[in-house]
Amino acid sequence: MMRGENEVYELICKDMRAKRGRLTTVHGVIETPVFMNVGTIGAIKGAVSTKDLEEIGTQVQLSNTYHLHVRPGDNIVRQMGGLHKFMAWDRPILTDSGGFQVFSLSGLRKIREEGVYFQSHIDGHKIFMGPEESMRIQSNLASTIAMAFDECAPFPSTREYMESSVARTERWLVRCKDEMARLNSCEDTINRHQMLFGINQGGVFEDIRIANAEKIAELDLDGYAIGGLAVGESHEEMYRILDATVPHLPENKPVYLMGVGTPANILNAVEYGVDFFDCVYPTRNGRHGHAYTDNGRLNLLNARYETDPRPIEEGCGCPACRHYSRAYIRHLLKAKEMLGLRLMVLHNLYFYNRLMSEIRDAISEHRYSEYKEAKLAGFEAGLE
């Protein structure tokens, strides 16, 4: 199956370089800029269900291919009708390629032209994953958007290593595209409209990034991600790479900055034309008692909240703030009661989803720069 007429990215408007777009998929429309909510193994951490995601305004859910391949197994998910049916979520899902986990979770691994040999982080058994395997697994999961299999080179890497790594990732990308086309043309494929995003790499070397961006742009993929950032370099270096690279990716395709980031990171990256984001911060920090607000982060474990009757954030419409006080949530966190983690995660994801909605409005109304400055000033002013 080729890309359908209905699977298109529409650039709605620009405010300087910031883009507001709309990606139409077989699982519905994604308004960008968007923050994807991360549900590693087919569930958001913090006992958040797909019904909760609908309530907090989640547009896209991100699941991890490697984790689902290891448990329950992508063959099981396929047998259950794909990830959408398995986790009862009918809106878009993006799956990563598994590459990042292969490189970050696995101890022993060997990178070869054909792919990567490594050991399962659960039971140590040997696994091989290359471009074709990653596409087949993601096709079994039947996500809306599949990510290309790439090497996320370590930071820092030498120029020599980065050049050879990026060249191999480019060769892998062609294989990903071919395999995805083959899979989408099979009659027994669950989602024959599965999209493929390529991934730009090159570390902090602007010239490698640009050459790679121009090369992969020619493949006319459904979207393009910028990988290998937020891996140890400074925020300034990250923005410098975005500034240099994004103009070399097709403007009429969505741009996804992988694994980023804080609300401030997102506000800044949008200004370079990024459409998609994902990050574990709202879930992970929520589980550690940190709540995001327009006035900066609160640590709910702080004694000052012991008898604070206010919601986490005044005026917030999330399921936690509508009903529960800081004092109650603090009590639950102190007592290690699961409900405390759940309420924190619901608030933080709602905060991120609302931030993206505000960002889209500000771009539409051509006041993005002022909006961003005011928002960043609020975060700074209110820090505990």
Nearer to a copy of itself, 111 or 339 (CB): 339
In the complex, the smallest distance separating the C-beta of residue 43 from a copy of itself, rounded to whole angstroms, is 4
Known catalytic membership, residue 188: no
Cα–Cα distances in Å, from 280 out to 91, 126, 238, 285, 338? 20, 28, 18, 8, 18
Q: Return the beta strands (E) in the chain as ranges.
A: 9-15, 18-25, 28-32, 34-38, 61-63, 93-95, 109-111, 116-119, 126-129, 145-147, 195-200, 223-226, 255-257, 276-278, 290-293, 296-299
Matching residue, tokens 């937020």: 230
In the complex, the smallest distance separating the C-beta of residue 45 from a copy of itself, rounded to whole angstroms, is 7
Q: What are phi and psi of 93, to 5 degrees?
A: -130, 135
Token duo for residue 251:
């403007």
Q: What size, in residues, is the chain?
A: 384
Known catalytic membership, residue 15: no
In the complex, the smallest distance separating the C-beta of residue 299 from a copy of itself, rounded to whole angstroms, is 17
**Three-class SS of residue 9?**
strand
Site residues (vs a copy of itself, CB under 8 A): 41-51, 71-72, 76, 79-81, 86-88, 306-307, 309, 319, 323-325, 327-328, 331-332, 334-335, 337-343
Nearer to a copy of itself, 185 or 307 (CB): 307
In the complex, the smallest distance separating the C-beta of residue 333 from a copy of itself, rounded to whole angstroms, is 11
Asked if 345 contacts 44 with a C-beta cutoff of 8 angstroms, the reply is yes
Active-site hit among 15, 96, 150, 222: 96
Active-site hit among 52, 150, 278, 294: 278
Nearer to a copy of itself, 337 or 361 (CB): 337
Instruction: Establish whether the linkage from the previous residue to 42 is cis, with ω within 30° of 0.
Output: no
Nearer to a copy of itself, 259 or 340 (CB): 340
Nearer to a copy of itself, 338 or 381 (CB): 338
What residues act catalytically? 96, 278
